[in-house]
Amino acid sequence: MTFGSDPRFPTVAKVDLDSAKAMIERALDAGVNFFDTADGYSGGESEIYLGKFLAARRKDVVVATKVGFRAGESITQAGLSRRHIFEACDTSLKKLSTDWIDLYIVHKVDAFTPVEETLEALNDLVRAGKVRYLGFSNWPAWQAASALAIQKERGWARFTSGQMYYSLLTRDLEHEFVPFLRATGTGMTVWSPLTGGFLSGKYTRDSFQQKEKEKGNRLAGFDFIPFDKELGFRVVEKMREIGRAHGASVAQVALAWLLAKQGLQACRTSLKPDSPPGLLYPSRGVPVVPASSEKSLSALLDERRTFPPPEEFRRQANAGDPAIYDRALRDPEAFWAGEAKKLDWFTPWQKVLEWNVPWAKWFVGGKLNVAYNCVDRHAHSARRNKAAIIWEGEPGDSRALTYGMLEREVNRFANALRSLGVAKGDRVAIYMGMVPELAIAMLACAKIGAPHSIVFGGFSAEALRERINDAKAKVVVTCDGAWRRGSVVPLKASVDEALRGTPTIQNVIVVRRIGDAAKAAMQPGRDVWWHDVTGAASDKCAAEPMDAEDMLFVLYTSGTTGKPKGIVHTSAGYLVGVSTTHRYVFDIKEEDVYWCTADIGWVTGHSYIVYGPLANGATSLMYEGTPDYPDRDRFWSVIDKYGVNIFYTAPTAIRTFMRWGTELPARHSLSSLRLLGTVGEPINPEAWIWYNDYIGRRRCPIVDTWWQTETGMILISPLPGLTATKPGSATRPLPGIVAEVVDAKGDAVGPGAGGYLVLKRPWPAMMRTIYGDPDRYVQQYWSRYPGMYLTGDGCKVDKDGYFWLLGRVDDVMNVAGHRISTYEVESALVDHSSVAEAAVIGRTHDVKGQGISAFVTLKEGVAADDALKNELKQHVVGKIGAIARPDDIFFVSELPKTRSAKIMRRLLRDIAEGRILGDTTTLADPAVVARLKTQYQEEG
């Protein structure tokens, strides 16, 4: 029960003190336990005194007060200043202080100036410890009571009014109120007499204003309008009409409108008739701070928005029957055997799985050839003249290879390799740019049974040398150079430098991409031109029958320390895994143009540019350059040029696009797109929404995929025809995959709790070992939890069984006993309208164990200053909780990233701790780290 919510206890404003005290005594006897006192103006001082009286009278009674400013009243708009604020809050009341206040609400009704000075003065109260809550709102008593309850439930110290509005709507929907925006456009407020009258039909606009005039109320001439440019009554009527059509309350319609940030008519699509009771368009994440536990990661963000598959998409989906999950769970071997039968086999398998933890053998006894399944079988079918690869070079040149053409090119290069002495089992290193010959070289190696080891073309000569030596490669395939942002990357020169210490290399095959002889010094007897050796080779080549467990490739990943790990993938299981997941996750259709923007030098390119798409007979697009050359809308131009239907890219790229603004994608149709995907790291909810709104135009499902180099294939992802998506969640493990989140002891954690992601059952495309180091394979992935594969990623599972990846366990901070994911703090920072990207790390802290340091890049045109730093810190507190408040924020022009655009937080930790920098060979631009180190030393 709250004071003011019962007719026996009306407001005590302007009541003499003795009468008010008597009323309060009656209220206490009746069980009132929350008093929302009036403002310190227009006679409200009596309530301030009453508040102090109450605080002394009853320790179990909560007292809240407000301080407000209205133009023309006791504090004028023109006179609003630091001095006046303090007079209102404290000085004018002489003997009073604010120490006794339990909950302090700052009440802003009108636009006022100077805003900056006002906010600074109010923040002084917070810094001085005089208030426990500071926000902007205008709540009746019932809302304030709910605010206090939610504050206690969540453990919040301070929060923003925006979060409280959403919380109240979620928690107390029976209170129908509509957030309204002042005509001045300065903020959102709730004024219950106005909105309540609108919703109940008690008022019309004219009758309301007439009533206010009769009362002499200065608000009579104000236009209160919901978020857009329409007058309140007309809008509420529309809200009521839409609500009736969808079985929604007016409050639900209002919230949908608010979150959609668009016209009222368009928010109809946010209201789904088949949604569960409650919010039809769920609110933004409400911060929930669980009890601290050393057993699990603190999972702090709670994202509630859901997006069911569009009905039209669901009807045509490759995976449209939800029973697929149960079938795969009941009999996983039968499920994977069924998928394997979609490939062509030279010899059928005798046993689906032989599992001796941690050693797996899939399709035991079977023989096939990966290149035959990716090329030959399509080239000898109706797909012969279908485009297999469409290639766009950075300068604008382009090529298309049909399956028939691709077969001939693969055969020529396979024969060329054999002519140079490459035989089954020999390793071939490939160090190239994104040109068709890269895919051709991979497939040619697969055709003759020579495992390839692709080294990303952005790696240094030192990194290349290390990988060549570990794999004991016999041949290197490279280019004279590659184009990147209009400049030549000298690949051949890097190879020459690397080969000064590589005793196993016998030949170097060079693709002429640049055509500048000065870029490629050819060493006679060792170096040969691609066009020379393929020109002399036959275009007929029989595929080598490969045992299911024969090695297809070794791909190196960087370790924090020590030499890189050579991840071994074998033929049959890998191809079954990537072809199955590509078919179901991307819903590939015969006519689709599919574009994965990754570099083939990474596992994403192996699995979902080359092997997965081509095994399914798809058209796969390759692009050589960067998203911003020659212009920042290059990706969108490519999509429109080739009619791309499926677009798969990284969250880092999406955040970069956000930073560049919405104008660039708006210039392009993008109407061919029907499905979007993300890969490489967890995607922040706000980036997900931006991707959905501005690239997918709210019509394309988004598949947020989780997997690793080690897993070979996607393991956790929506099935776009079946799964309702949640921004930031990879949703559910795919059919045939059994994943769990456990604590440090290996016990499963409850819904919402953070822990460590493990895999409890083998899958076909899983890595088989670390090349040349089986003990390291066992120790790193299988030793901590017997029988379970440790992914190294933090994760939580919500009440719906959806998985939320929290980033690498290495990217977890222990702050005052709370294990907090850097991803969640980064998500909260990126949620702010000024922030483009954020990287968060934990650093040594004398008191908390670890402090939180954030490195932030700002959107174009945003000024970096201390006020914004403080605002961002408060924003994180509001989104997550006080425990996640960054200790330091550094505004930087660029973050350290790998060539695959992943942020290297490890190097930021080295900088913050003053350590010698670890392996930097994968950095896209080493100069970034040097600049950051200098900046940190100057500011830190």
The answer to which of 59-63, 458-462, 653-657, 685-689 has the lowest mean pLDDT is 59-63
pLDDT at 345 over 90: yes
Q: What angle do CA 740, 745, 749 make, to 5 degrees?
A: 40
The pLDDT score that the predictor gives to residue 230 is 30
Residue 656 lies in a domain: yes
Domain encompassing residue 113: 1-159
In a domain, 756, yes or no: no
What is the model's pTM?
A: 0.64
Residue 849: predicted pLDDT: 65
Same domain for 860 and 723, yes or no, is: no
pLDDT in tens, 409-467: 999 999 999 999 999 999 999 999 999 999 999 999 999 999 999 998 887 888 899 99
Q: Which tokens in the block code for residue 620?
A: 């796969």
Give the pLDDT score at 211. 58
Instruction: Kindly report the CATH number assigned to the domain that includes residue 587.
Output: 3.40.50.12780
Q: Which of 381-390, 570-579, 791-800 has the lowest mean pLDDT?
A: 791-800
Residue 507 has pLDDT above 70, yes or no: yes
Domain boundary among 710, 737, 764: 737
What pLDDT, on a 0 to 100 scale, did the predictor assign at position 845? 76
Place 919 in a pLDDT band, splitting at 50, 70 and 90.
low
Over 80: is that where the pLDDT of 905 sits? yes
Q: Give the separation between CA 726 and CA 685, rounded to whole angstroms.
A: 8
731 & 845 share domain: no
823 and 690 in a common domain: no
Distances (CA, A) of 53 to 28, 721, 903: 13, 62, 56
- Does 836 score more than 80 pLDDT? yes
Q: What pLDDT sits at residue 682? A: 86
Range scoring the smallest mean pLDDT among 376-385, 553-562, 669-678: 553-562
Same domain, 493 and 406: yes
The domain spanning residue 70 has which CATH number?
Answer: 3.20.20.100
726 and 820 assigned to the same domain? no
Show contacts of 613-616: CB within 8 Å, 24+ apart.
Answer: 613/582, 613/588, 614/374, 614/375, 614/378, 614/388, 614/443, 615/343, 615/370, 615/373, 615/374, 615/575, 615/578, 615/579, 615/582, 616/579, 616/582, 616/583, 616/588
On whether both 822 and 733 belong to a single domain, the answer is no
**DSSP states of 376-401:** IHHHTSTTTTSEEEEEE-TTS-EEEE
If one compares 360 and 263, the residue with the highest pLDDT of the two is: 360
Shared-domain flag, residues 150 and 9: yes
Predicted confidence band of residue 906 (pLDDT cuts 50, 70, 90) = confident
Radius of gyration of the chain (CA): 32
Whether residues 726 and 860 share a domain: the answer is no
Mean pLDDT along residues 561-582: 91
pLDDT score, position 711: 98
| Spatial CA neighbour of 170 closest among 242, 264, 241, 276 | 276
Angle at 920 between CA 918 and CA 921, to 5 degrees: 135
Tell me, yes or no, whether 172 lies in a domain: no
In the chain, how many domains are there? Answer: 3
Q: Are residues 397 and 478 in the same domain?
A: yes
Domain for residue 446, yes or no? yes
Kindly state whether residues 698 and 817 are assigned to the same domain.
Answer: no
Q: Within 13 Å and on the Cβ side, how many CA atoms surround 387?
A: 16
Q: Report if residue 561 sits inside a domain.
A: yes
pLDDT for residue 910: 83
User: 596 with 605: CB under 8 angstroms?
Assistant: yes
pLDDT number for residue 806: 82
pLDDT tens per residue across span 355-400: 999 999 999 999 999 999 999 999 999 999 999 999 999 999 999 9
Q: Which residues contact 416 (CB under 8 A, 6 or more apart)?
A: 444, 509, 530, 533, 534, 536, 537
Q: Where are the beta strands (DSSP E) in 679-735?
A: 702-704
Inside any domain, residue 875: yes
Q: pLDDT band at residue 770, thresholds of 50, 70 and 90?
A: very high
Q: Which of 130, 159, 188 represents a domain boundary (last residue)?
A: 159
Residues 369 and 480 reside in one and the same domain = yes
In a domain, residue 192? The reply is: no
Chosen domain end from 94, 129, 159 = 159
Both 385 and 495 in one domain: the answer is: yes
Mean pLDDT of 223-246: 43
Within-domain flag for 742: no
Would you say 445 and 471 are in contact if contact means Cβ atoms under 8 Å apart? no
Q: Tell me, what CATH number does 930's domain have?
A: 3.30.300.30
